[in-house]
Structure 1
Amino acid sequence: MTTTMTQAVTHTPRSTDLAEIAHGTTTRMRIAEIARFLQENLGPRITARITRVSDPRQVGKWAAGDTRPRDEAEERLRAALQTFHVIQSAEDNHTARAWMIGMNPQLEDETPAQCIADGRFKDVMVAARAYVDGC
């Protein structure tokens, strides 16, 4: 007698795994670490643009721990880092930077960096997951 068992297999897409890891990493990091990472990987001007501050030197002050960003700027920093980590985990730093600053067809040909500055965090993460799933 043969018994056939059907097992429910759940498959978690790769992008979901990476997004969860990036979320955990970003949540544990202090804001100075986040500012420093983004300053080093995107540059102070792009990081300032993402956070909607006019002076890129302000990013350096956050990175050094001299000052803290306003809540809105911190939200943008955390969103940028989380997105960067999703792409970086699937690719590398160079590709993650290029992805963040390049036009994206899923974002109506705007850059992910600009969309984060505009507060479109969810749209950017959806685009990042789609990119990773297409790799």
Structure 2
Amino acid sequence: MPQITGYLNENLGPKLVAHMVSKSTQTVARWVAGIQAPPQPDVERRLRGVFQIVQLLVETDSRHVVRAWFIGMNPQLEDRSPAEVVATGDLRAVMAAARAFTSGG
């Protein structure tokens, strides 16, 4: 988890990562440093899902575009931001929106 969380922090920023998993930035920083117990299974699932989505998106866009995509309203997610939808736990909808984005839809 430290590598995944660190990668997400670098590419999305610690505040956005913390928001998506409903934790504090300090908790996320401790996961990155490996000084806190791994996250609960539902939080780990969200982090791994976000990692996969970021990996998909950075194949075609810069990390700045990817971060903006996570923050911005998305019509495929009923005008909610992907970060907001991840926070609710609906990773499938966000992955579908990411696939549509990478294919130009």
Q: How does 1:37-116 map to 2 (within 5 A)?
A: 37-53=7-23, 55-67=24-36, 68-116=38-86
Taking the aligned partners of 1:91 and 1:44, their CA distance within structure 2 comes to 20
- For 1:43, the aligned partner's letter is G
List, as ranges, runs of 4+ consecutive aligned residues in structure 1 with deviation greater than 4 Å.
Answer: none
Taking the aligned partners of 1:48 and 1:91, their CA distance within structure 2 comes to 23
Instruction: Tell me by how many angstroms 1:34 deviates.
Output: 0.8
Taking the aligned partners of 1:44 and 1:95, their CA distance within structure 2 comes to 16
Taking the aligned partners of 1:93 and 1:52, their CA distance within structure 2 comes to 22
How many residues align structurally?
104
Taking the aligned partners of 1:78 and 1:101, their CA distance within structure 2 comes to 18
Instruction: Structure 1: state its 5+ residue gaps.
Output: 1-30
Instruction: Tell me by how many angstroms 1:100 deviates.
Output: 1.0
Instruction: Structure 2: state its 5+ residue gaps.
Output: none
Q: Structure 2 length as normaliser, TM-score?
A: 0.93
- Tell me if the contact between 1:80 and 1:113 (Cα under 8 Å) persists in the aligned partners: no
Structure (1 or 2) with the larger CA radius of gyration: 1
Work out the percentage of aligned pairs sharing the same amino acid.
40
Taking the aligned partners of 2:44 and 2:98, their CA distance within structure 1 comes to 20
Q: Structure 1 length as normaliser, TM-score?
A: 0.73
